[in-house]
Amino acid sequence: MRGTLATLLFLLFVSGCAEANYEKGLEARRDGDYTEALNQWMLASDDPRCMTAIAVMYDYGEGVEQDEDKAAYWYHKAANKGNYRAMAQLANFSLSGVGGETRSPMVWRTKLEALQGKDPYVDYVLAFFYANAHGGERRLDDALSLLKPLVEQGFEPFVPLYRDIEQRIADRNAGVQEAGALALEMAQGEVSFDARWKDRRIVVSGYVSAVRRLNDYGYALKLGGPNPSLVPKDNLLAVFYAPSLANPLTGLNPGDYIKLDGVYLGRVPFALEPSALTLLGCNLVKALSRDIRF
C-alpha cells in the first residue's frame, strides 16, 4: 500500500501550518530541490510535521539514500509529539515489520480507531486495515463509510481504494468468496473445507500475486490481498487454475483484482502448497487493474 504514499502524504501536508521553515521545505520539494527541503525541515526538526516530512524522505529515498530505519526513527519522534500522520504510517509499518516496528497490526488498529476523524490519512489507513482484515475482522462496509466523505471532499488519492472496496462489497453481495477468507477456512481444517466445497462451483476474488504455467495442467494463479508483499504467506491463497489450452491466462499483472470461478476438485492433483484450491472449468473475470497500494 505504499506506492503512492509519499505524494499522498505531502498532498495532505499542504493544508498544514504557516511556519517559515516548513513552508519553505514544501516549496523546495515541489520544485524538486530535495536537498533544500531537507535542510529547511532539519532547521525546524522539533516541529512534528517537519519530523514526519523528513521521515517520508528517508522512507522513499527523496534526496537521500532510502533508509527505513531512519524513516521509522523520525516517524516515532513525530508520533511521540502527537502527529497523527506519523502514527498512521507506523501502523503501515506494522504490517511487515518495516523499520523494526514490533507493535502488532491489532494494537495499531485499536490506536487508529481511537484517532478516527482526527486526520484524513488516519481514516484512510484505518479503512485499509478494515478492508483487508489487518488486526481484526474484515469490515468492508465500515471501510467504505470512512472513505466516502473524504472522497466527496476531493481527496483524489483516496478514490482507487474507495472504488476497490465498492467492487469487493458488490462481489460479496453476489456470493463471491475472497481468496484470503478461503485460505483461512482451509487452514482451519482441510477435511471440513472439502466437505463444504468439494464438487461445488466457487467464485473466488483476489489480487494477482503470481502466475505460472503447469505443463499439461494449465496455470497456477496465486491470489492474495491488495499487497501480497505485506501479507503473511499463510494468508495467501494459491489457486491452481486448469483451463483448456485454448484459454490461457494472458494479460494479468501483479496487483490486478480478478474474479475466477470453477468447480473445486479437492486437493489433488495439485497438492503443491498449504492452501491450494484446485479448480476446473474456469472462467476468468478481470475486474480492476488499479494501483491502490501504499
98-151, pLDDT tens digit by residue?
888 889 999 999 999 999 999 999 999 999 999 988 899 989 999 999 999 999
Residue 192 is predicted with a pLDDT of: 87
**What nine digits make up the cell of 200?**
461445488
Written as one string, the DSSP assignment of 184-236 is HHHHH-HHHHHHHHTTSEEEEEEEEEEEEE-TTS-EEEEEE-S-GGGS-GGG-
Q: The dihedral of CA 282, 285, 290, 294: what is its sign?
A: negative
- For 237-252, give the secondary structure using H, E and C: EEEEEECCCCCCCCCC
pLDDT score of 14: 43
Integer Cα distance of 215 and 240 in angstroms: 12
Q: Residue 142 half-sphere exposure, CB side, CA atoms within 13 Å?
A: 16
The model carries a pTM of 0.79
